[in-house]
Amino acid sequence: MSVSGGRTRVGRYELGRTLGEGTFAKVKFARNVDTGENVAIKILDKEKVLKHKMIAQIKREISTMKLIRHPNVIRMYEVMASKTKIYIVMELVTGGELFDKIASRGRLKEDDARKYFQHLINAVDYCHSRGVYHRDLKPENLLLDANGILKVSDFGLSALSQQVREDGLLHTTCGTPNYVAPEVINNKGYDGAKADLWSCGVILFVLMAGYLPFEDSNLMSLYKKIFKANFSCPSWFSTSAKKLIKKILDPNPSTRITIADLISNEWFKKGYQPPRFETADVNLDDVNSIFNEDEDQTQLVVERREERPSVMNAFELISTSQGLNLGTLFEKQSGSVKRETRFASRLPANEILSKIEAVAGPMGFNVQKRNYKLKLQGENPGRKGQLAIATEVFEVTPSLYMVELRKSNGDTLEFHKFYHSISNGLKDVMWKPEGSIVEGDEIRHRRSP
């Protein structure tokens, strides 16, 4: 590793800001210094992986991603390893989550929903043809590129065909309850392809309705609704769309429509364009080697304690905005606070973090502070576990900082509420550009008369 200009270098990649994080991994913006190409790098901690016996799952994720070459699936370029870390270099997708589009706009028009659904089915059908089952399909795992092309991500819960038992079925219960097929919950084995298709049906319903077909605060009540396929389509669904969704959300997997029959369905075929993609021979020999302690030592990472906030270059700054509208660089547009949000401040970095710490404590958050970063851990359990928020300060200029708050665990809607609450206590910290006014918790720019 080499360090230049306050940045970490791994192999030929220069690491930038954190795009997301979970229990076992972080995803960072990165740039290939040889080609100038921007990528995303997923960084896994080997010690955590070993401690939690996650080696098989991580190997599976890497194997899965190497097998897939499809325009509607996130591309994996290469894998690197050091003594303590694993680096998965992936395609950088900048259009956000499909979930965010639904959250900000509500339901989609039927033609738009059909287009995204066609992309999804193209990806899932291809994965199944390679013996790969996703098993956690939901809008949060569906990303959009700059051209609005859907890309399936997050194969952490996928299963390769080798895991199928002698009965021809998978036996691991996983996924997100609202999107999971009844036979997965039933714990008697399931066909991965049929279970994925059920999840696709739930996604189609959500795209067109703006809400879930199966929803209940009580988990057992939710499961009962799923087992019985107890749902009804809204009045604005076309008759042909209603019929197709009911064929997909058939609780009996043996009579559920197949992808082959789905692709020949009249509603699905409208405006359909079959995918074009390359065929590649894939070698998986290096998957085991990334856990080999005798790995080439030239790529060892040397951790360095930074004495100042990370510096954000112009491209990274612009890439955080919606399109190239500089008015949205720091503050999200009204009603669209997502899994992360950001604001600008002219206060010194240490003072910014101290203010956030002072406001978050009384709101019921434990705070850990390190290297111009904060980890806020909620004390109370939420809908999807305890809410956890990662906060980082970036230096844009010597007198201007960008502060980013990212949900690392818990429910996205609860993060929305947290952000709006904490904003009220940080009004003296947030910088408001000249000519802007505050309406509620959002900054809007005055328009010239």
Residues forming the annotated binding site? 42
Q: Which two tokens stand for residue 443?
A: 């900054």
Q: Which two tokens stand for residue 152?
A: 């399936």
Q: Give the bridge partners for 32, in sequence order.
A: 13
Q: Which helix (H) or strand (E) holds 159?
A: strand 159-160
Q: Is 136 a catalytic residue?
A: yes
Q: 448 CB contacts (<8 Å, ≥6 apart)?
A: none
User: Can you list the positions of beta strands (E) in 1-119?
Assistant: 2-4, 7-10, 13-21, 25-32, 38-45, 76-81, 85-91
Residues marked as binding for ATP?
42
- In a 10 Å sphere around its CB, with 0-12 CB exposed, 13-18 middle and 19+ buried, how is residue 88 labelled? buried
d(CA 134, CA 203): 14
Provide the CA 80 distance to its chain's centre, in angstroms. 22
Q: What is the secondary structure of 170-224 as a DSSP string?
A: B----S-GGG--HHHHHTS-B-HHHHHHHHHHHHHHHHHHSS-SS--SSHHHHHH
The DSSP symbol for 234 reads -
Q: Which two tokens stand for residue 161?
A: 């065909």
d(CA 140, CA 153): 9
Residue in the block written with tokens 């399931």: 190
Q: 310 CB contacts (<8 Å, ≥6 apart)?
A: 6, 7, 16, 17, 372, 392, 394, 395
Provide the CA 394 distance to its chain's centre, in angstroms. 22
Catalytic-role residue among 136, 191, 196, 250: 136
Q: Which helix (H) or strand (E) holds 48?
A: helix 46-51
- Catalytic machinery residues: 136
